[in-house]
Amino acid sequence: MHAPKILRCLALLLKVDLHVHTVYSDGRGTVEEVLRVARAKDLDGLAITDHATLDGYFEAKSYESGLFILPGYEVPTDAGHVLVLGLEMLPPERGFMRYEELIKWARDNGGFTVLAHPAVGRAKWDKWVRCKPDAVEALNASYPFSRYFVRKGLKIASRLSVPAVGGSDAHYPRCVGDAYTIVDVGDLSFPLKALKNGIVGFDGRLSPLLARLRIGVGYMLSALI
C-alpha cells in the first residue's frame, strides 16, 4: 500500500498532504508557517482543509510558494467528517450536513471526497456503502495512540473498494507533512484529475505525542457523544 520512495525519482509522483488546518479555523499555524514547513519537509503540495472557509486556501494561493495548493474544507456529517477537495466554493450549508447530501453535492460539482479519520468512532457502514466517498483517510498523523487506527482505516478503504490516502490533519505547523498521499500526476494535470485517477499510496508517521493527544483524544471523546 505504501509507494516505494524510489518510484518518486522514476515517475511523476508527488507528495501531497491532503489534510491541513490553519488559523482560519481551529489550527494554530498561519498560512505562511504552514507553507514554510511543507517546503522544509519536501512536500510537493497540500490541501488547506479548514472548517467552513476557503480563506486559508486563497491566501496560500497568493504566495509564490512553489507548491501545488488544493482547495478544500472539512465538513462534519452524520456519518463522520468528510474532506471536500478541489472546489473553490463552499457547500450550501456551512456547518453540519447530512453525509449523503454532502457526497452527492460534491460529486455533482466535480469535487473529490475523503472520509476523514473514520477509524475513530462508530462505523456508519450503511451510509458509507450506499454513498461511497472517493477515498478513505487511512493514515491520519493525529491518531492518538497507535497504528491500530491505520490498519482499521485500511480495512474500511478495502471494504468500500476506494483508495486509501494519508494526511497530517495538522493543527500545529510542525505537524504539516507528517503524513501524505503519493499521487501519480501523469501529464502534470494536478491536482483534481490526478487525485481521481492517480493515487499510488501514502506514507508518513504519527505526529509528536503531545500534538496527537491534544487533537486525537478530542476525536475519540466526540465520537462517544
CATH number at residue 124: 3.20.20.140
Asked which of 10-19, 136-145, 210-219 is least confident by mean pLDDT, the reply is: 210-219
199 within some domain: yes
pLDDT, position 1: 40
Q: Provide the pLDDT confidence category of residue 214 given band limits of 50, 70 and 90.
A: low
Asked if residue 112 is part of any domain, the answer here is yes
Mean pLDDT of 77-104: 96
Look at residue 17 in the predicted model and tell me its pLDDT.
Answer: 98
Note whether residue 3 is domain-resident: no
How confident is residue 215, by pLDDT bands cut at 50, 70 and 90? low
For residue 4, is it within any domain?
A: no
**Residue 225: predicted pLDDT:** 47
**156 CA to centre of own chain:** 16
Whole-prediction pTM value? 0.89
Average pLDDT over residues 130-152: 89
* Residues of the domain holding 207: 13-224
pLDDT tens digits, 45-56: 999 999 999 999
